[in-house]
């Protein structure tokens, strides 16, 4: 058993508490990882706000981490102690019907099928003050050590800086892949991106990499416009500056609507606005933002009857264990710059400060380090 620091969420609506936790050794098929760095993602904040119903407290959050393998359980073959790894919130067991489908990146063992608040054997490796602490998405990267199933761990290049490539674990992969894999943005096309957080800006990067000629960034926080333009946005607009619905504004700006729109917020009204802002016949709208549990959509079916395509994306459509090493290599080859997404770096002891920056709209990505 290893004793280490972790930021524990004891209850909804309460700040994280820095505690000493005990982390049990890995069982068969599991890996214990020393987390070096972890990003703060909006989904972590959603849990603290009570946005999701299927999360059990107390829990150690964090799902965008990178670290070094400390030890492995019986039967683990893909990683060994000392390897640099990224734990992924979307598993790839390699055996289920979805993993065997080349067009799918889902896995039947992932948390959308069953809760990942405990490990697959329905027990936890975390205890604190004599109490069981729950896992989060099998990652729990707000702990200095964590235990994860082997099929949710990805070995990466030993040269990778862990405080940068941790973003590949969720935010960057999700946004960049939404444009590259899910939408399959074509060169010369027009795009609109709703929401300019870390994931939304990664969508902008993906649209630029795909050769889009016009990338319109949409957000009510004008402070994010400079960063959006630095990453590839050609125009930035604030819906609050107009008296008409933003979908009408975008349609007028482009003639018939954009070719591709991306909703990266998770609100029902902006999801419908994003759909309505793309071309009525050949437009493609990608749902990237995560809605609150129980959310319902109400929209005019004519929006899709005319031919629009409305799609969701899960971690950007990547088969994570296959794709993440390649994404890390692409970063090392300077094919994209993750560094521009990182606006703040804080020690784990200041995790709550990182969440305050996120809620205030002052950060893109805060990376916590141990």
Cis preceding-peptide flag for 62 (omega within 30 of 0): no
Active site residue 41: yes
- What is the DSSP track for 126-153? EEETTEEEB-STTT-TTBSEEEEEGGGE
CB within 8 A of 363, min separation 6: which ones? Answer: 40, 343, 344, 354, 357
Q: Are 346 and 366 contacting, i.e. CB atoms less than 8 angstroms apart?
A: yes
Find the catalytic residue in 107, 166, 170, 278.
170
Q: Name the packing angle between helices 268-276 and 246-254 (round to 10°).
A: 20
Q: Are 143 and 125 contacting, i.e. CB atoms less than 8 angstroms apart?
A: no
| Interatomic CA distance for residues 30 and 79, integer angstroms | 10
Active site residue 111: no
| Interatomic CA distance for residues 221 and 341, integer angstroms | 16
Q: Per-residue b/e over 253-292, b at no fewer than 16 CB within 10 Å? A: bbeebbbbbbbbbbbbebbbbbbbbbbbeebbbbbbbbbe
Active site residue 344: no
Active site residue 134: no
* DSSP 8-class letter at 278: B
Find the catalytic residue in 41, 99, 110, 236.
41
| Interatomic CA distance for residues 332 and 192, integer angstroms | 28
Residue 30 pairs in a beta bridge with 149
Q: How many CB atoms lie within 10 A of CB 112?
A: 12
Place of tokens 């990453």: 231
Phi, psi (rounded to 5 degrees) for 128: -150, 125
Helix (H, G, I), strand (E, B) or coil at 7: strand
Active site residue 46: yes
Supply the residues annotated as catalytic.
41, 43, 46, 63, 170
């Amino acid at each position: 058993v290893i004793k280490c620091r972790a930021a524990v969420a004891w209850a909804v609506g309460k700040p994280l508490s820095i505690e000493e936790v005990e982390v049990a050794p890995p069982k068969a098929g599991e890996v214990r990882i020393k987390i070096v760095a972890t990003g703060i993602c909006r989904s972590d904040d959603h849990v603290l706000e009570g946005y999701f119903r299927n999360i059990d407290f107390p829990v150690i959050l964090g799902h965008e981490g990178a670290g070094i393998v400390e030890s492995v359980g019986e039967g683990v073959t893909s990683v060994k102690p000392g390897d640099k790894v990224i734990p992924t919130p979307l598993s790839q067991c390699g055996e289920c019907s979805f993993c065997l489908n080349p067009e799918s990146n889902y896995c039947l063992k992932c948390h959308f099928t069953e809760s990942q608040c405990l490990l697959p054997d329905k027990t936890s490796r975390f205890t604190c003050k004599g109490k069981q602490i729950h896992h989060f998405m099998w990652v729990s990267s707000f702990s200095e050590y964590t235990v994860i199933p082997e099929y949710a761990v990805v070995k990466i290049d030993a040269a990778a800086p862990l405080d940068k490539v941790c973003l590949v674990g969720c935010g960057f992969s999700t946004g960049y892949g939404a444009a590259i894999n899910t939408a399959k943005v074509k060169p010369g096309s027009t795009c609109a991106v709703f929401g300019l957080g870390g994931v939304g800006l990664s969508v902008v990067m993906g649209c630029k990499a795909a050769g889009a000629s016009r990338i319109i960034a949409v957000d009510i926080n004008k402070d994010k416009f400079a960063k959006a333009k630095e990453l590839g946005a050609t125009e930035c607009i604030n819906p609050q500056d107009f008296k008409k619905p933003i979908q009408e504004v975008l349609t007028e700006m482009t003639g018939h609507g954009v070719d591709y729109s991306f909703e990266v917020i998770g609100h029902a009204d902006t999801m419908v606005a994003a759909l309505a802002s793309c071309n009525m016949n050949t437009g493609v709208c990608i749902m990237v933002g995560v809605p609150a549990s129980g959310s319902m959509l109400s929209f005019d079916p004519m929006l899709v009857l005319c031919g629009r395509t409305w799609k969701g994306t899960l971690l950007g459509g990547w088969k994570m264990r296959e794709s993440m090493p390649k994404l890390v290599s692409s970063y090392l080859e300077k094919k994209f710059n993750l560094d521009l997404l990182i606006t703040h770096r804080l020690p784990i002891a200041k995790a709550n400060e990182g969440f305050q920056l996120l809620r205030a709209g002052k950060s893109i990505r805060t990376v916590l380090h141990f």
